[in-house]
Structure 1
Amino acid sequence: MSQHPTLAFIGAGNMARAIIGGLVSNGYPAEKIRASAPTINKLDDLKALGLFTTQDNVEAMHSADVVILAVKPQMFKAVLLQLAATAAQTKPLFISVAAGITSSSINQWLGGNQAIVRCMPNTPALVKMGTNGLYANNSVTPEQRTQAEEILSATGLTLWVEDEELLHAVTAVSGSGPAYYFLFMEAMIAAGEKQGLSRDMATQLTLQTARGAAEMAIQSDVTPAVLRRRVSSPNGTTEQAILSFQANKLETLVEEAMQACAARSVAIAKELGDD
């Protein structure tokens, strides 16, 4: 970033650590980052990086330009009510990385009139290969949108949606998506073992194939559908596997799974929000 706003991370779990790690490794000054967590042991390694750390959320938020809310969804209301008085005075940009909690609920718990960006990240952020779906409420300025994008791009790709409801779809595609691929990898490894490969060999073949296929799709100027057709020779081995997947309605299974994921995201918003 051309300038380095002071950042406060409320919560120091995996996602907060992924963002902090990406920022610091990209040259963001550690002295411009604060972090809070209820237990000291979660803060020791962050303190070693040069961050200011505290068990007091309000102290962490003091003088922060941007506050990243990285606590569990079930804890959001209690934590934000604690921050509301300070938020009314300092008016930072709030970035939430919690699934399901709407910007209107966050705004209400913070006392109103707050600039809020919601982010739906995913776990590959831990290896700087994450995907972040972002939504900004009407109080977020263009400068703050840029700040949010620059902060979160430390973990990978950032994409904006202009309709908050679309974050449920983002959750279904990328937020929960890594688990879908892990399950498919599990199935391929198990099938390889049944065909006589050692577990280690089946694992290496599966993981490298997944990595290579993803990189091909990223670098290609054609769609995954075209790439699939290119490697599926008529009456060949790959075609037989694809035909088996299609006969067993793989596409329908994926669609139904993603619909179930999005529906659960909607339900969480209703269960935990005050809308």
Structure 2
Amino acid sequence: MAETAERHREFADKHVAVIGAGVMGEALLSGLIRSGRPATQLIVADRSPDRLMQIQERYAVRTAPGAEAAAQASTVVIAVKPQDMAGLLREIGAQLRGGTLVVSLAAGITTAFLEEHLPDGTPVARVMPNTPALVDEGMAAVSAGSHCETHHLWEAQDLMRACGKVISLPEDQLDAVTAISGSGPAYIFYVVEAMIEAGVLLGLPRNTSTELVVQTLYGAATMLRDTGEHPTVLRERVSSPGGTTMAALRELDDHKVRAAFLTAMEAAATRSAELASGKVR
């Protein structure tokens, strides 16, 4: 109880507006509440009245139009589609109080873009999150804008820490982050799909194959995290000379799977840079 009371005092004057109640907006909202942020300090805005009603019923938070929500907050988190960003920034810009931190979760939106469309001197931060935030296992990278001071950066980190891990990086590294952790869950799901199909091909019932693959993935990831061992070391421990694992790995190497992953992630990083430059916006 004492710890909860302390957390409530810590957030007493820090109202947070979440504009955009889609998948990532809701993930952050639910994470903030689970981490101890009082629902009374959270304001949610979304273009869909039905979606706002769902969020209000689910989390007992206040809802308001975007500009009104921004006017009441010390931190504004924007989780809308990139193509909607410019219009929204124009809408809320005049309503922001001095010193209000604006945090963007939108892919390809640079801090320079945010600053260009907001009042001079507005502190902004750009975040590259990923979907495991939905289960409090997200990996987010935060980059500070030119007016973002240390305490603003800490606030942005604290927000994202509510639903996973967070690191701070220079903005010129966010394209690589997008390629690795932002898009990364899709690569993992792609491999899992293939392994499950292989199990079915080899005669296993689909539910059995799925259970085997998912638990194997979970166990391997836990080993990587908890042992601190390099993945090469862990792989070699499974790979007996002339054994089944070596036979499988040889096939992967023959099909240049490692090279394909490198090429794929380079393509994702290139696409991220194109989005950020506005070439395909």
After superposing on structure 2, the runs of 4+ consecutive aligned residues of structure 1 that deviate more than 2 Å are: 270-274
Residue 150 of structure 1 pairs with residue 150 of structure 2: no
Structure 2 match to 1:57: 66
* TM-aligned CA deviation for residue 258 of structure 1: 0.3
Match of 1:14 in 2: 23
Structure 1 residue 213 corresponds to structure 2 residue 213: no
3-state SS in 2 of match to 1:165:
helix
Which residue of structure 1 aligns with residue 139 of structure 2? 131
Rounded to whole Å, the distance in 2 between the matches of 1:262 and 1:217 is 25
1:169 and 2:176 equivalent? Answer: yes
Q: Under a length normalisation based on structure 1, what TM-score does the superposition of the two structures give?
A: 0.95
Partner of 2:162, secondary structure, is helix
Q: 1:122 aligns with which of 121, 127, 130?
A: 130
- Give the corresponding residue for 2:119: 111
Q: Distance in 2 between matches of 1:60 and 1:245?
A: 52
C-alpha distance in 2 between matches for 1:171 and 1:160 = 14
Q: Give yes or no for contact 1:101–1:273 (8 Å, CA) kept in 2.
A: no
Compute the displacement of 1:272 (Å). Answer: 6.8
Residue 242 of structure 1 pairs with residue 249 of structure 2: yes
CA contact (8 A) 1:189 1:206 kept: yes
Residues 1:33 and 2:42 aligned together? yes
- In the aligned structure 2, how far is the partner of 1:229 from the partner of 1:83? 55
| Residue in structure 2 matching 1:94, options 74, 78, 102 | 102
Give 1:175's aligned amino acid. Answer: G
RMSD in angstroms over aligned alpha carbons?
1.5
1:230-270, Cα deviation, whole Å (9 max, x unpaired): 11111111111112111211111001000110111111112
Deviation at 1:70, TM superposition (A): 0.6
Deviations 1:144-198 (A, max 9, x none): 111111111011010110x212100000000000000000011011111111111
Alignment deviations for residues 173-232 of structure 1 (CA, whole Å, 9 cap, x no partner):
000000000000110111111111111111111111111111111101211111011111
TM-score with structure 2 length normalisation?
A: 0.93
Please say which of residues 123-132 and 43-52 is displaced more in the overlay. 43-52
Q: Which residue type is aligned with residue 200 of structure 1?
A: N
Contact 2:68 2:95 in 1 (8 A): no
Aligned 8 A contact 1:73 1:272 in 2: no
Aligned length: 271
- Stretches of structure 2 that go unaligned for 5 or more consecutive residues are 1-6
Distance between the aligned counterparts of 2:257 and 2:266, measured in 1?
14
Does the 8 Å contact 1:102/1:273 carry over to 2? no
Identity %: 37
* Distance change >3 Å, CA 272–CA 9, structure 1 → 2: farther
Distance 1:261 1:92 in 2: 32
Amino acid at match of 1:215: T
Q: Which residue of 1 aligns with 2:87?
A: 78
